[in-house]
Amino acid sequence: MTSDFGRAFQIRFATLNDVPVILQLIHDLAEYERAPDEVIATPQLLRENLFGARFAAEVLLGEEQGEPVCFALFFHNFSTWMGRRGLYLEDLFVRPEKRGKGYGRALLVRLAQIARERECGRMEWAVLDWNEPAIKFYRKLGARPNEDWTIFRLTRDGIARLAKEE
């Protein structure tokens, strides 16, 4: 897909060969989000979970003149009330030196097109409370926070403890 940027910026689905680039962008995102030591993803885990027989997520890469400068990782969830799947944006990241060019917006537009093509009932994502630039950006696009809900999370250790209960 070529956007309004012409040939200078293009968005495409990532392939197996992009695993090293995806992993680097994940590390860059973790650095930005002040959690560089929390990344445990490996090339093997990404190969299995993004491109394996039972892939869990998909990745869009944004490239400026052939160089990856941003990505969006997403997957489908399901709304019982709507009876339809939704598109959940796990991560969207634009390298800091490439911000302000409309690349993040272009990724979201492409995601909205995918959601429409796949007949999704909604798109959702989370944003860190301190990330004011992202919050302003999302609000400008028409997205609104869902303040009626609180996100809960179990990590691997919590899952293991809960799974042992009878």
Reported as a single tens digit per residue, the pLDDT across 17-44 is 999 999 999 999 999 999 999 999 999 9
Number of domains in the chain: 1
Q: Does residue 3 form part of some domain?
A: no
Mean pLDDT of 7-12: 92
Catalytic option among 32, 88, 103, 138 = 138
Distance CA 42, CA 22 (A): 10
Q: What pLDDT does 153 receive?
A: 87
Amino acid occupying residue 94:
V
Q: Does residue 118 form part of some domain?
A: yes
User: What is the average pLDDT score of the chain?
Assistant: 93
Q: What pLDDT does 4 receive?
A: 54
Q: Is the pLDDT reported for residue 136 higher than 70?
A: yes
Q: What pLDDT does 2 receive?
A: 43
Q: Is the pLDDT reported for residue 13 higher than 90?
A: yes
Confidence bin at 1 (pLDDT 50/70/90): very low
Q: Does residue 85 form part of some domain?
A: yes
Q: Does residue 1 form part of some domain?
A: no
Tokens of residue 83, six digits: 């009876």
Q: Is the pLDDT reported for residue 7 higher than 50?
A: yes
Q: Is 46 helix (H, G, I), strand (E, B) or coil?
A: helix
Q: What is the CATH number of the domain that holds 104?
A: 3.40.630.30
Q: Does residue 24 form part of some domain?
A: yes
Q: Is the pLDDT reported for residue 3 higher than 70?
A: no
Q: Does residue 67 form part of some domain?
A: yes
Distance CA 18, CA 5 (A): 22
Nearest in space to 47 (alpha carbons), one of 19, 75, 73, 14: 19
Which domain range does residue 111 map to? Answer: 9-164
* 32 given a catalytic annotation: no
Q: Does residue 2 form part of some domain?
A: no
Distance CA 47, CA 4 (A): 31
Reported as a single tens digit per residue, the pLDDT across 54-106 is 999 999 999 999 999 999 999 999 999 999 999 999 999 999 999 999 999 99
Helix segments in 7-84, DSSP class H? 19-32, 43-51
